Amino acid sequence: MIWIAGGLFGASLQMIAEYEVMSFDYDLLVIGAGSGGLAASKRAASYGAKVAIIEGDLVGGTCVIRGCVPKKLMVYASAFSQLYDNAVGYGWEKVEPKFDWGKMITAVDAEVRRLSQLHIGFLEKAGVELIRGLGQFVDPHTVAVGDRKISADKILIAVGGEAERINIPGIEYAITSREIFLLKEQPKRMAIIGGGYIAVEFACIMRGLGSDVNLIIRRDLVLRGFDEDIRTAVQEGMVKKGINIIPETLVRGIEKTPEGLKLTLSGDGEPLLVDAVLCATGRKPNVTGLELERVGVEVHKGANRQVGGAIAVTVDSCTNVPNIYAVGDCTDRVNLTPVAIAEGRAFADTVFGHQPRYISHHNVPSAVFTQPEAASVGMTEGEARAKYGDANIKIYRARFRPMFYSLTGADEKAMLKLIVLGETERVIGVHMVGKDAAEIIQGMAIPVVMGATKKDFDATTAIHPTVAEEFVTMR
């Protein structure tokens, strides 16, 4: 030990040494067993870290329990009604199908629980301990779960997001995307508040299953933030399916009556009488109750957030407290399951694998499982023109009826669009509305990320007859 006047420097070194040999219960403690938390915990454990993960709900998070998985199963269920109609044009006799809501909900719930148990098995196989309950910070290295206090060298927050409810009289009568999977009976008349991807997806699901659907949106088009051609094409397709879209309208209140739930609307709109109201106006980071202020973790509190906000992180997912990290929807960067998984793995690789890396949030493909389906990767036309100027942007677009519908008589259209930049015509945006859009755009994301040009697309031989071939034959 080095002694300097008064021994202060030596004492400081001794304190540091004592801190370094402090023992913790775990190397990593993860709060939240959703997509990001599961990915991070298993990857960290693979590097030899001692890991525990805290969860107060079913293991799997929003995606498995009340998001991507059960929703996509319901999308599949809702699509059969159109297949029955389309089959007639191909020579099949017309049938009168009957849908059993209870059977579908039971089957979906069983699959969700099966997947949740599967994830528990993966944790056990990886050597990650599952701690049941809700986590609450005590200090930067300690989290309480009930009466138990758990310490860790590193702590990862991966608590995801939760549905928000608008502040109007009677909102307690509305359900959110959490409760819709638990309804015992199918609403015959339904109102959905919101124009984002959750709202429009459930509007299409419920309509496909036979419910009368009213979609109430604040703007003139659904899917704010998506390319204008996608917004227009999806909305037109929804109207053709029989969804009643009420644009530029707010819900002022919900009243429970003997005849059903009555919605009072802004402007001159007539009140709506329905059996169920789905509030799908947005989601917020699920940070309430963590006691982040106790340990000084910085939170962005946006003007439109009533409670809590997004956890502020650096590119490597570290908060302002050096040993505390956060990934996924609670950081409100790009709120998609694959992004949360990638962030969680990158965190583990960096901190425990000593392979520093971080995730790019640019050119992330996304899909909306409406009917018709929509998907995109890269910049929208509006973003491209704003950043590079009209003179530097060229648009290639195709709109046509896919061959599948040529014998059905259905008024269905596909829309495919390329956005290219400058003299090199680098493809900076790919957008599609139509059957299998998500599957097709997943493949299109690769050339966009690699920086492919329009000439690269043109040099690619088409697969005929397909819808996707239009991407390599546009002129």
Superfamily designation of domain 372-472: FAD/NAD-linked reductase, C-terminal dimerisation domain (3.30.390.30)
Residue 464 annotated among the catalytic residues of the structure: yes
Q: What is the C-alpha end-to-end distance of the chain, expressed in Å?
A: 75
pLDDT in single tens digits along all 475 residues of the chain: 333 334 434 444 444 444 455 799 999 999 999 999 999 999 999 999 999 999 999 999 999 999 999 999 999 999 999 999 999 999 999 999 999 999 999 999 999 999 999 999 999 999 999 999 999 999 999 999 999 999 999 999 999 999 999 999 999 999 999 999 999 999 999 999 999 999 999 999 999 999 999 999 999 999 999 999 999 999 999 999 999 999 999 999 999 999 999 999 998 879 999 999 999 999 999 999 999 999 999 998 644 444 458 999 999 999 999 999 999 999 999 999 999 999 999 999 999 999 999 999 999 999 999 999 999 999 999 999 999 999 999 999 999 999 999 999 999 999 999 999 999 999 999 999 999 999 999 999 999 999 999 999 999 999 999 999 999 999 9
Check 141, 300, 354, 464 and give the catalytic one.
Answer: 464
Same CATH topology for 5-65+103-163+284-351 and 171-281? yes
Domain-by-domain residue ranges, the chain?
5-65+103-163+284-351, 171-281, 372-472
CATH 3.90.340.10 fits 5-65+103-163+284-351, yes or no: no
CATH number for the region 171-281 comes to: 3.50.50.60
